[in-house]
Structure 1
Amino acid sequence: MSENAIKAEGLTKVFNGSLVAVDHIDFNVKGGEIFGFLGPNGAGKTTTINMLITVLKPTEGKAEILGYDIAKQNTQVRYSIGVVP
């Protein structure tokens, strides 16, 4: 599978108007690829995952899971993924 399973462009999350948790990240994960988020505490890893699984809405940018827009097609995203914390 060579198409993007996950695609993020300019994905950003700001809390309370000033706390930037995720700052304009871009990445692509192709189908079948293994991908991980690494970083220190407070780097935005969990916030990024929560945006991708539609728990949080991005402040800016866009992302797709299997071609579904996380902001506009959140029901389809939720039916298409599984999350194990």
Structure 2
Amino acid sequence: MEPIIEVKNLVKTFDSRGKKITAVNDVSFNVFKGEIFGMIGPNGAGKSTTFSMLTTLTKPTSGSIKISGFDALKQNDKIRPIIGIVSQKLSLYLLLTARESKV
């Protein structure tokens, strides 16, 4: 059985005031059809950054992500229509309609 989500050696680093910060360090996992998947961990563990990369909103520094066989770096236009996420934060653009705020 092929995974619906396939993450291999995912890394995300940021530059903050000239200092390199690693938010996600060599994360790998698979999610298969029918599974319910979530991530838990302390603040600053990289959960939100990982989901931001899975939803194609942020590009990884290195590693690979496949969603339903589509490469997240090269085929994000194929991935966005088939995924969904419920964030803990309210993320609305108050001046846009729902149709206008599509990513």
TM-score, structure 1 length as denominator?
0.93
Give the count of matched residue pairs. 84
Bigger-Rg structure (1/2): 2
Runs (4+) of structure 1 moved beyond 3 Å?
none
Query: Whose strand proportion is higher, 1 or 2?
Result: 1
Structure 1: runs of 5+ lacking an equivalent: none
Structure 2: runs of 5+ lacking an equivalent: 88-103
Q: In angstroms, what is the RMSD of aligned CA positions?
A: 1.1
What whole-Å deviation, never above 9, does each CA across 1:39-80 have from its counterpart, x for those lacking one? 000000000000000000000000111111111101111011
Match of 1:45 in 2: 47
TM-score, structure 2 length as denominator?
0.78
Deviation at 1:3, TM superposition (A): 2.5
**Percent identity between the two aligned chains:** 49
* Cα distance between partner residues in 2 of 1:60 and 1:3: 22
* Cα distance between partner residues in 1 of 2:84 and 2:37: 15
Match of 1:22 in 2: 24
